[in-house]
Amino acid sequence: MKLKKLLEIYSADTLYDVYRNIYKYGSGFSVGFLIDGNWVYNDELPKKKLLFQGLRVKKLYLNGYVEGSDVELSPTIFNISTLTEKKLDESIEEIEKEVEFYWNRDNSIWFTIKSKIDEDFEIMGRQTNFNDYPVYYEELEEKEKEKLNILVEKFCENNNNKLETDKYIIEEYYNCEVY
């Protein structure tokens, strides 16, 4: 792919615009270009038009990052000359999936709710937005849902590994599939 085509795909005039367009529509991206033998990333990318200024842009660097996590993702580096739009789209999609997986894993509280009364009653859930109550208990009456939501909120706010009442046991669990 020619650099001009890459700029067209992202409706961009500059490499900085390419970065901003990928970043804006993605889950968290770092974008870099190898320009005249030096890697330049993100906000440091030139904000001026580069075409026909004699600069050689050889490679494109893409990497995702996960807010609220220490996970380090592996970058994808493309030679601009052999890059295709399909390959770029597939890579961005793959990075998005990886970022989402690790964000959900590292920024969620995963829990199980078991009943002390009904041994067949077990609910698994995840809470990521602590302003919203999880809605995992369709089979319960409204009053019981409200009680359970309050317990889950208390469990999540206090970062408990286990919360026990006369009717329920709420425990934190991790059951993450390998990406």
Domain boundaries, the chain: 3-105, 108-172
For 68-85, how does the pLDDT look when each residue is reduced to its tens digit (9 = 90+)? Answer: 788 889 999 999 999 999
Beta bridge partners of 62: 31, 76
pLDDT reading at 121 higher than 70: yes
Within the chain, what is the greatest distance between any pair of CA atoms? 75
Sheet containing strand 109-115, edge to edge, reads 122-127, 109-115, 168-172, 162-164
Angle subtended at Cα 135 by Cα 112 and Cα 98, rounded to the nearest 5 degrees: 70
Percent of the chain predicted with pLDDT > 90: 31
Please list, in sequence order, all residues whose beta carbon lies within 8 angstroms of the beta carbon of residue 30, skipping any fewer than 6 positions away. Answer: 41, 42, 61, 62, 63, 64, 65, 75
Higher-pLDDT residue of 4, 153: 4
Q: What's the pLDDT score for residue 137?
A: 55
Q: What is the pLDDT of residues 29-65, one digit of tens each?
A: 899 999 989 999 999 988 877 654 567 899 999 999 8
Q: Which residue has the higher pLDDT, 179 or 157?
A: 157
- What pLDDT is recorded for position 50? 63
Residue 26: both structure tokens together: 């993605």
CA angle 100, 113, 152 (to 5 degrees): 70
Distance CA 151, CA 78 (A): 49
| pLDDT at position 159 | 67
Please tell me which residue, 122 or 10, carries the higher pLDDT value: 10
pTM over 0.85, yes/no: no
- Provide the pLDDT confidence category of residue 16 given band limits of 50, 70 and 90: very high
pLDDT of 169 reads: 83
